[in-house]
Amino acid sequence: MQTLIKNGQVIDPANQVDGSFDILINGNSIEAVEPQGQLSENDNSEIKIIDATGCVVAPGFCDMHVHFREPGHEYKETIETGSASAAAGGFTTVAVMPNTSPVNDNRSVTELILKQAEKTALVNILPIGAITKGLKGETLSDMGELKESGCIGYSDDGRPVMDSELMRRALEYSRMFDLPCIQHSEILDLTRGGSMNEGIVSAELGLKGMPVEAEDIMVFRDICLLPKTGGRLHVAHISSGGAVELVRQAKAKGLPVTCEVAPHHFTLTEEACRDYDTNAKMSPPLRTDEDIELIKEGLKDGTIDIIATDHAPHDLADKQVEFSNACFGIVGLETALPLTLKMVDEGIISLQRAVDLLTQQPCRIFNLDKGTLGV
């Protein structure tokens, strides 16, 4: 079965394409991308015609940070339901974090995830392996085995690697295997027991805060480990304007660091917590207007490499409790695109840059042969 998409504005940053093109799809493969009108239908009644007049045609989006909860927490989300949300949001490839039960810290769990994805997923599922066994921050996982079994990166996401020597060694292995270490940047000594950003709002609500310095200090530490290790550091869900500046300075020095931002961190502030709305409780926490402005500047100038949702669903029992007892996390796959396009409407980034953040750049960082409409 062939499909011809006609008259659309095709944006494909990987191939520097932005213009009026037609796309011929044969089965599951793109057969041709040609200037508008150059692909003939040849009176073939079996060709499905899609008139994309007034529409943008882009590669499927890639989200390198989701929590699909399977195996172990299927009452919150499954690979099947999570992939349905991804498809609804325009994502065709997602990377699933290892904080499952059991933790994805070995070949058998990775293979289980891939097998389940093959059975039920509507999109491409790529596993992220744990940096440390059991996410305990004590012993490194077999990072070579994880790569061989299909993992595209390493992370203890949700838990920072606090041990500096352990993180140094992990970065050395990341250089060896050419896969990024994805760090949840947080100094736990500063945030333990916290529920939201530390500041005036947390004080007024009587909630223990999580100071922004906890993120900045960890980002600084990990960047300091890069010159000697040569490792590939990827800062997850950056939320601090100070952390953005640290990444900017590191990139200026040529250090191998990249970072991502989640839509909620360039859209919402700590003010969303004022009604004790547990849907606004996440880690890292929602920050201030100033942080959002600095994040938007980072998106504009290229300091921030990609947009990733940190899609983290919970069941009602985990959220319909007192704020301090609620789980951290928010969903994001189905709202990421409209929130990103809001920045386009506001003139903060171009439409081409928005597509780039969701397609080519994630694939560049994670060595993926995706994110393009190339034949």
Q: Which residues belong to the active site?
A: 310
Residue 264 token pair = 């909620």
Q: Would you say 64 and 52 are in contact if contact means Cβ atoms under 8 Å apart?
A: no
Cα 226 from Cα 224, distance rounded (Å): 6
CA–CA gap between residue 106 and residue 144 (Å, rounded): 10
Instruction: Tally the C-alpha atoms within 13 A of residue 172's C-alpha that lie toward its C-beta.
Output: 9
Phi (first) and psi of residue 91, to 5 degrees: -95, 130
- What letters, b where the CB count within 10 A reaches 16 and e where it falls short, cover 4-35? bbbbbbbbbbbeebbeebbbbbeeeebeebee
Cβ neighbours, 10 Å, residue 38 = 10
Tokens read off for 220: 């600084």
Indicate the SS3 state at residue 233: strand
One-letter amino acid identity for 337?
L
Instruction: Please compute Rg for the chain using Cα positions.
Output: 21
d(CA 179, CA 76): 29
Which 8-state DSSP code applies to residue 34?
A: E
Query: Identity (one letter) of the amino acid at 118?
Result: E
Task: Give me the amino acid identity at 102.
Answer: P
Amino acid residing at 143: M
